[in-house]
Structure 1
Amino acid sequence: MNKKGGNVLVWILVVGAIAAFFLFRDGDEKSYNDSGYRSGRQGIISEKTLSRDEAIESYWDEIKDYIDGTETIDACSSDSGNCYDLDADISNGQVEEIYFSNGGYLYFSADIDESGNASDFDQNGNGWDFTIDMDSSIIDDAISDWASDNGYTIE
């Protein structure tokens, strides 16, 4: 084979290898999003977009660490059965202190779960159940801050 024919053959093989690489590189790689399975770069981009509910369901243990501030919650005494709407200090996803209208307060370390519920005993040994509105601004802010820090977009 002459030199010119050899060069043409090498170029054909190189171009063919490059074309095969691009045609078959996404073969079995698939990523899931709301509209079904997609492959390739579009699937990778869509992985970083979550609905609010998907974020809570899949990443609550991370998101709850962003819940900080004071919020009105439903607080129910297990002993008396009475429930109150009370302001609560929440830090890193835990109800830490509730405030009564008479100036009293109680301390807790109650972890808020993905449904907005928490339970704990106060410093006097009395049981309490708490519920935070999962549509409240403090939860929205936590989800937004978590998404921003982790490169996600919430739809």
Structure 2
Amino acid sequence: MLPRALLAKFILKPSTVSPFQFNQQRALHSRNKKALEFIAKGWNALKEVDRVIDYSDPKHSGIVSLLRTAKENFELALEADNTNTHARYWLSRLHMKYPVPGANKAVGAALLVEAAEMGDPEAQYALGCHLRVENDYVQSDQQAFYYLEKAVDQVLFTFWVLYI
């Protein structure tokens, strides 16, 4: 009787985990991977624009095509994974800083706020700087320091986790 009681403990019970859950996780991983590929392509295009924009006309067809490529890739990254904060941040930066066809500073600001609220430290820092420096008409120092503190806390926490 004792061996049966011991065996009963080790006999596998029917799992409550559905096999479809693993497929969802795999799909989430593939969406995130695809989004990261689009972000890398868009970032490379922006890197090239930054390299040549000071030495040429910003309306040059080569620069415009690179900016379109970057914008399309960041938008595709958001379509692939809507929760990706890096794509949101880079798309906001594209709208706010570069002469992209169809750029809209209001859309860029909205994307920046969304990325900061979603916890992206680069977006939090950029938003804090925009609120502190580039906002002459609104007294937004408290909001600026709030986002700057959030960015610093995340960077310090990451440093603490990685190096300590």
For normalisation by structure 2, the TM-score amounts to 0.27
**Greater strand proportion:** 1
Larger CA Rg, structure 1 vs 2: 1
Higher RCO structure (Cα 8 Å, ≥6 apart):
1
For normalisation by structure 1, the TM-score amounts to 0.28
**Greater helix proportion:** 2
